[in-house]
Amino acid sequence: GAARARLVRRLISVSRSGSTLREHHKFLAIQILGEVKEKLKQIAVDLTESGRLSRPDDIWLLSLPELVRLIDGKEVEAVDQIPTRRADLARFDALTPPMVLTSDGETPVVRSHVEDAPPGALLGQPVSGGVVEARVHVIHDPESESLEPGEVLVASFTDPGWTPLFVNAGGLITEIGGLLTHGSVVAREYGIPAIVGVRGATARLRTGQRVRIDGSRGVIEILGEEQG
């Protein structure tokens, strides 16, 4: 009816207008959190100098209520738990999370299968078509590492902070992801072959190896070490 039609047109208009503001909200939130973090870093130095913390980065191992109590000069039992929390953090950081975790806590094993895949080939989900043979470069930190033109980027995952690396990338291999994750979308925009969901790719591939990746089938063949 006419009333519903007007309502739908209004909702579409509001949705189109509001969606353009989404990035503004995120940008503002990041700016605010940046200011908060700088203030917390200064508070951490003050607490360390006053002897209430052993070192400045201990502040990140306290909850907000615990930190507020500490700033107010109250006794906080959690301070004595910081070494244990730091050890737990190191232990958790060394764990490899499952690719899939159900709401029941189960961790089913996800395996890719491609008919007639060459022996020893790595398999994953094809998300951007094309075939390329090139040298791989395993990258863990996009801020301190870079790609040479044509190299295949191998990473655990990518997010918007990795986008500058795609300028030189000849292909993409990630350990996690799907058709609509960041790396997949950017790879299609740049027109480079990409395969995601390749479990253990950063450990099984080494910088300098030459591979042939088929982004249409999800097959990665290791050709050997690049000479010279």
CB-hemisphere CA count at 13 Å for 193?
21
Q: Annotated catalytic, 182?
A: yes
How far CA 54 is from CA of 30, 47, 74, 188, in Å, comes to 29, 9, 16, 49
Catalytic residue among 25, 113, 137, 182: 182
Contacts of 215 (CB under 8 A, 6+ apart): 126, 127, 128, 129, 130, 131, 132, 171, 187, 192, 193, 194, 195
- Could you say which DSSP state residue 179 is in? T
CB-CB neighbours of 122 under 10 Å: 21
Residue length, the chain? 228
Bridge partners for 221 per DSSP: 212
Kindly report the backbone phi and psi dihedral angles of residue 147, in degrees, each rounded to the nearest multiple of 5, phi listed first. -110, 145
* Residues identified as active-site: 182
